[in-house]
């Protein structure tokens, strides 16, 4: 379903759009790496099904799976690289540096609209931390650094293309999912996010995955990568679409205790036999913080676009093409 957009006028033609997509990606990537102390690494597009490395996101999305010559295991296109990155940090020796990579995925069950696509492109990053730093203050510090990198990129883009409007607020307003529910008890989670983000512009909703006082979680989270008490989503208010847009889901990753507890709550304790989970419980993986940052969503916001299909080439349901033309939206 397409969000209706009133009086939308694209500020960039096709060639300008392609030029500034590259500008945004290059500059934000550099700014992010500088702020967080990251180096770029190569990453897989697919992993073995039985490795336990693929993420099940909300637990209902079907991965794209296939077989390959001379490979006995079924292969799955990744949903994200949260677990793979932690394994990679155990393998690489970067002496205090973290890693980031380009992550491309196919989410076949996505309900597509202005910001959701079957094709996902994001920067996935991960950094080792000490066990004593597994606390909310550490999480907030990294969130603020990401916002700083985003604002710096917006300023650099405006210098190169002054006709693009700036509206990123660098200062992040933090709120827990329970505090948000207490504030808007009669609204569902998405409506709460919309109201709070529209008021504060750049926000981080923390502690996502566990059950709230209402008996429901704010949103679903896989039980075996983020610690549900040390994670969150970064959202930006976008006046072009008049919506709160999530640009990142991130968190301090589970330790041994959190893994056991969350798998029990999710009735997924059978995963403890998988290679990734066994390595974690045996102390073979570092304690880490990490997340994903949407490349096309950041381009959408900074280039003042109304639809993610204006900054990435994908396939859309029948009827969306006509709807987009009606609102002056030109899909790639």
Active centre residues (catalytic): 55, 107, 122, 233, 246, 249
Query: In terms of residues, how long is the chain?
Result: 332
Q: Which residues pair with 219 in a beta bridge?
A: none
With tokens 């959408």, the residue in question is 300
Judge whether 64 and 91 are in contact, CB under 8 Å: no
> What DSSP line would sit under 148-203, residue for residue?
HHHHHHHHHHHHH-TTSPP----SPEEEEHHHHHHHSTTS-HHHHHHHHHHHHSEE
Characterise 30 by phi-psi region: left (phi > 0), alpha (psi -120 to 50), beta (else): alpha
The structure tokens listed for 267 are 């009735």
Q: How far is CA 105 from CA 2, 100, 272, in A?
A: 22, 16, 25
Q: How far apart are CA 151 and CA 146, in angstroms?
A: 9
Q: How far apart are CA 191 and CA 208, in angstroms?
A: 16
Q: Which residues pair with 59 in a beta bridge?
A: none
């Amino acid at each position: 379903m397409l969000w209706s957009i009133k009086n939308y006028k694209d500020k960039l033609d096709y060639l300008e759009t392609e030029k500034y997509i590259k500008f945004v990606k290059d500059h934000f990537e550099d700014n992010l790496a500088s702020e967080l102390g990251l180096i770029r690494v190569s990453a897989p597009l697919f992993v073995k099904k039985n490795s336990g490395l693929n993420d099940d996101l909300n637990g209902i999305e079907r991965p794209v799976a296939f077989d390959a010559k001379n490979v006995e295991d079924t292969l799955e296109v990744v949903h994200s690289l949260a677990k793979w990155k932690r394994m990679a940090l155990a393998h690489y020796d970067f002496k205090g540096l973290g890693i980031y990579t380009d992550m491309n995925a196919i989410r076949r069950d996505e309900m597509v609209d202005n910001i959701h696509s079957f094709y996902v492109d994001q920067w996935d990053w991960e950094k080792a931390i000490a066990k004593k730093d597994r606390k909310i203050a550490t999480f907030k510090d990294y969130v603020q650094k990401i916002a700083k990198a985003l604002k710096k990129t917006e300023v650099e883009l405006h210098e190169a293309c002054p006709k693009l409007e700036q509206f990123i607020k660098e200062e992040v307003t933090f709120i827990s999912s329970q505090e948000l529910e207490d504030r808007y008890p009669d609204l569902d989670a998405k409506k709460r996010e919309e109201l709070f983000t529209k008021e504060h512009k750049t926000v981080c909703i923390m502690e996502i995955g566990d059950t709230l006082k209402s008996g429901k979680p704010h949103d679903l989270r896989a039980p075996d990568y983020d610690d549900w008490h040390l994670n969150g989503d970064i959202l930006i208010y976008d006046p072009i679409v008049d919506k709160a847009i999530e640009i990142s889901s991130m968190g301090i990753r589970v330790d041994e205790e959190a893994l056991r507890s969350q798998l029990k709550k999710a009735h997924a304790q059978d995963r403890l036999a998988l290679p990734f989970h066994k390595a974690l419980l045996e102390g073979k993986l570092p304690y880490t913080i990490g997340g994903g940052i949407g490349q096309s969503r950041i381009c959408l916001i900074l280039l003042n676009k109304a639809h993610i299909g204006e900054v990435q080439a994908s396939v859309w349901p029948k009827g969306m093409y006509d709807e987009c033309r009606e609102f002056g939206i030109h899909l790639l």
